[in-house]
Structure 1
Amino acid sequence: MTAVLDNSCASFATVSGADLQVPLVNGSTCTYANFDYAASAPALAHVTERIADLLPYYSSVHRGAGYASRVSTAAYEKARVTVSNFVGAQSDAVVIFTRNTTDSLNLLAGCVPGDTVVLDIEHHANLLPWNDRRVVVAAESIAETLVSIEAELAAKPAALLAVTGASNVTGEVLPIDELAALAHRYGARILVDGAQLVPHRRVDIEALGVDYLAFSGHKLYAPHGAGVLVGKRDWLDAAEPYLAGGGAVRHVGLDHAEWAPVPARHEAGTPNVLGVVALAAACEALEHFEVAGSVDHERRLSDRLRDGLTAVPGVDVLTVWNDSPDSVGIVTFSVDGFGPGEIAAYLSAEHGIGVRDGKFCAHPLLARLGHADGAVRASLGLGSSDADVDRLIGAIETLVADGPSWTYEEENGWWNPIPDPRPFPELAGGAAGVGSPCATQTVSIAS
């Protein structure tokens, strides 16, 4: 496990796809510049190595007597301890493995014995699952937003305050310790959606006073389909199992079932052993990289990107608050005269740059910020470099000064270069036809 400390031409860590060559519409190729970490991060080398080590032993867990099954079971349960230690879980907390953050939040939503207070800035995964939700509209400052949250909690009892740790639209980080103290003052617990925060900042939930934390492996450099819910046992033990099936029970009769306690209670079926072990390996790597200076590296690149884009005429960089003390590596922007899908298609087809365009599963927030039709999100990670940042800024400067050199058209929400001569590899079915959603490496404006 190695880290590049302060080389302006290099990334901080080795990730999959770092040397990927992609075709451009002019017939040339270039190295792919990945600015879509906030959606799904590439795999760290440490993660792929761990998976390669485990694959020969891969087997079903918990009830197998074979040697491979015992090894897989031990690796699965060791991962639970690794994740618990990584997030500083309390001694009475439990780690439940899920598919992703959305799965974790939906699981917890079925366990909450009362109302949930949320902000209007939330990702849909932390807005839609709560059955009895009360929405607080974020103010222009974090300080004013805290006042609004307190007023809502004081007006009527709530069981849970559910907040994002860092906005998936702007990257702005919330004061989790203050929010936790506020929730507890009024008898509520706090859930933190850590999907964007955990990959970028170390989160110690015991020190912060957090009751529940959810996050995803695919944003944590472990794209193998595992997620985490960690927190207090009592609500989770009292609730009906999230899924009914094998592994979640102690005994089954034809007319009754005796459910197991957590974590087994909410982990029915054959678990994603490889995904869970990959996620734990990513936690180990991130702990190492933090010590080596990864946070400072990301902050420097983020500042470079924000400053560079802000200096381009007609570019608007989105923010929620005017007093945010910290932001993770997410910069969302618009360009006067160009739609977000057209910008994303242009960056991909002419510059080999991958960004995300749309509403980022945060429709209410984008509408309130004046971007109901969406924006462009550039997100950074351990594989990002100064050269990547400068390349993106330069591409936007060229777009503003000269416009695109190719023609782009929108069809069914997808923007495509017309024509699109770029071939696809065989694993993706060969050549992509014009109008294919795959042809632009962008997402639908509705996402």
Structure 2
Amino acid sequence: MSTATFTPNAAATLPAAASADVARSVAARPLAAVTGAELQAPLIQGGHVRYANLDYGASAPALTIVSAYLNEILPFYASVHRGAGYASQISTSVYENSRNIVRDFVGGRPDDSVIFTRNTTDSLNLLAGCLPVEDGRHAGEVLYLDIEHHANLLPWQGVPHRSIVASNTLAETIANVRDALSQGGVSLLAVTGASNVTGEILPIRELADLAHEFGARILVDAAQLAPHRRINIADSGIDYLAFSGHKLYAPFGAGVLVGRPDWLDAGTPHLAGGGAVREARLDSVNWATGPARHEGGSPNVLGAATLARATQVLAGLDQDDWHAHESGIRAHLVEGLRKIDGVTVHQIFSDTDPDKDTIGVVNFSIEGYDAGLVAAYLAAEHGIGLRDGRFCAHPLLKRLGLPSGSLRASFGVGSRLEDAQRLLAGIEELKRTGLGWDYVVDAGRWVPANDHRSYPEWAPNTPGTAGAAPCSTD
């Protein structure tokens, strides 16, 4: 197993002259096997084609190794912590050891708490209830940028906070963060590790040093960064880190918050219930400390276990191959998009280096076409899945001049260069011949008119028949 680690903003380790050729070669095939890799998608014009999944940024497919592991441990699934039975003892051991595996994966400090949650959003809401309080008032403000996902934006609006509008360059934005911190009164700097909209990576080590210089701590939303780069909490100076299993090739909706225990042990328990207490009385309670304080109720044992197993798989990847695979697909896609008339590739900062400061996320728009219509066309006529909308980052999309949304292609270890090539071919066909089918708006979403495709009988609704999608504007 490779022990090398990627640090955000670290330069690629491939020799410069060979990087492009090596990256293209590695990108031609999946780096790791995922479930659903050969899924056949029905086309509106008839026939089927291999589904090109370019929506990893929303939920990534499960690694086949993780799926096999789930089947291995499922017979032992039982309630944890207070069961004397054989299965309960095994499940407890698996669940608690998952904390150690996850802590090792992110280079955590020995005393860092590892709390399992539902997802990154849940983790950040948990931390919002643990901010330091003095004399009944919050001891400081939370500082964040306008480029954040709503998960790292909305929880802080209920506590003292201050926001910064990012500048056109990353250098100017970092300077603005320094100015804001120097004014004092900030207890926590909350930043994304990598933008879920554009894939741009922030310089976490530099931001952590700034936060600490002015007496604040730093929280990193790593929902997008963790599936694409190795992170080392101790080396990077990160105080709190949150990420999600469903973006890290694990099923069952588990998330995690890793970080310094003092705030967490003193904070408001995230979910009042069994297991979170030392002693409960009819009208009062003594709360536990440690992860148990915030894990009230029966935990998601299988979610935590599969999340931990996924981190082991990623930790075992060759770091050079991992970077080359992703950068090869991204470079090919960006280069191809920029050659198509009317297509614009979007990024936040003009000084971002696409070779080392981005993950497998590409954001773009097509002049004259609604993003939702393009997404529906690509799905129905080409079997390509990608995301459209505002990506739960409304302030950022407005700032980018995309108030009605854009398109996002995202990929990972199970992707192949062919996926990007098919997307480019689909867009080129759209520009050349237009839509090949009629589309209508149903429940706020573009769908093919008179959709006659068949779907699995166990699927409760076929596209276009469900109620308004809650993420239709996300």
Is TM-score (shorter-chain normalized) higher than 0.5? yes
Matched residue type, 2:151? A
* Alignment partners' CA distance in 1, 2:192 and 2:320: 26
* The one of 351, 354, 360 aligned to 1:323: 351
Q: 1:221-260 to 2 correspondence within 5 Å?
A: 221-260=249-288
Deviation at 1:436, TM superposition (A): 2.3
- Percent of aligned positions with the same letter in both sequences? 54
Residues 10-69 of structure 1, C-alpha deviations (whole Å, 9 max, x = no match): 211110110101101011110000000000000001111111111010001000000000
Q: 2:136 aligns to what?
A: none
Counterpart contact for 2:27–2:324, Cα < 8 Å: no
Q: 1:282 aligns to what?
A: 310
Matched residue type, 1:271? P
* Alignment partners' CA distance in 2, 1:308 and 1:275: 38
Matched residue type, 1:121? I
Deviation at 1:7, TM superposition (A): 5.1
* Alignment partners' CA distance in 2, 1:88 and 1:410: 47
Counterpart contact for 2:27–2:326, Cα < 8 Å: no
User: Are 1:181 and 2:232 an aligned pair?
Assistant: no
Q: 1:124-273 to 2 correspondence within 5 Å?
A: 124-130=150-156, 131-273=159-301
Residues 185-213 of structure 1, C-alpha deviations (whole Å, 9 max, x = no match): 10000000000000000000100000000
Counterpart contact for 1:23–1:29, Cα < 8 Å: yes
Counterpart contact for 2:27–2:328, Cα < 8 Å: no
Residues 283-330 of structure 1, C-alpha deviations (whole Å, 9 max, x = no match): 000011244721221011111111111111000111000112310000
Residues 313-371 of structure 1, C-alpha deviations (whole Å, 9 max, x = no match): 00011100011231000001100110000000000000000000000000000011010
* Alignment partners' CA distance in 2, 1:116 and 1:73: 36
Matched residue type, 2:50? T
More displaced 10-residue stretch of structure 1: 79-88 or 150-159: 150-159
Residues 217-274 of structure 1, C-alpha deviations (whole Å, 9 max, x = no match): 0000002110000000000111121111100011111122111111100011000000
More displaced 10-residue stretch of structure 1: 8-17 or 30-39: 8-17
* The one of 395, 414, 418 aligned to 1:387: 418
Matched residue type, 2:144? V
Residues 49-94 of structure 1, C-alpha deviations (whole Å, 9 max, x = no match): 1111110100010000000000000000110000000000012211
Counterpart contact for 1:358–1:443, Cα < 8 Å: no
Residues 83-140 of structure 1, C-alpha deviations (whole Å, 9 max, x = no match): 0000000122110000000000000001112210000000000000012221100001
Residues 153-208 of structure 1, C-alpha deviations (whole Å, 9 max, x = no match): 11232000000000000000000000000000100000000000000000001000
Counterpart contact for 1:374–1:445, Cα < 8 Å: no
User: Are 1:446 and 2:466 an aligned pair?
Assistant: no
Counterpart contact for 1:40–1:223, Cα < 8 Å: no
* The one of 136, 144, 158 aligned to 1:118: 144
Normalised by the length of structure 2, the TM-score is 0.90
* Alignment partners' CA distance in 2, 1:262 and 1:300: 42
* Alignment partners' CA distance in 2, 1:28 and 1:39: 27
* Alignment partners' CA distance in 2, 1:405 and 1:246: 57
Matched residue type, 2:115? I
Matched residue type, 1:329? G
Q: 2:36 aligns to what?
A: 17
Q: 2:465 aligns to what?
A: 436
User: Are 1:363 and 2:385 an aligned pair?
Assistant: no
Q: 2:93 aligns to what?
A: 74
* Alignment partners' CA distance in 1, 2:466 and 2:418: 28
* Alignment partners' CA distance in 1, 2:271 and 2:93: 23
Matched residue type, 2:153? L
Matched residue type, 1:256? S
Q: 1:351 aligns to what?
A: 382
Matched residue type, 2:440? E
More displaced 10-residue stretch of structure 1: 127-136 or 352-361: 127-136
Q: 1:37 aligns to what?
A: 56
Q: Is the partner of 2:247 in helix, strand or coil? A: coil
* Alignment partners' CA distance in 1, 2:271 and 2:179: 36
Q: 1:420 aligns to what?
A: 451
* Alignment partners' CA distance in 1, 2:44 and 2:471: 21
Normalised by the length of structure 1, the TM-score is 0.96
Deviation at 1:444, TM superposition (A): 4.6
Stretches of structure 1 lacking an aligned partner (at least 5 in a row): none
Say which structure, 1 or 2, has more relative contact order (CA 8 Å, 6+ apart): 2
Deviation at 1:438, TM superposition (A): 8.9
Matched residue type, 1:127? L
After superposition, the CA RMSD in angstroms is 1.7
Stretches of structure 2 lacking an aligned partner (at least 5 in a row): 2-21, 133-139
User: Are 1:336 and 2:367 an aligned pair?
Assistant: yes
* The one of 381, 395, 398 aligned to 2:429: 398
Counterpart contact for 1:59–1:72, Cα < 8 Å: yes
* Alignment partners' CA distance in 2, 1:261 and 1:230: 15
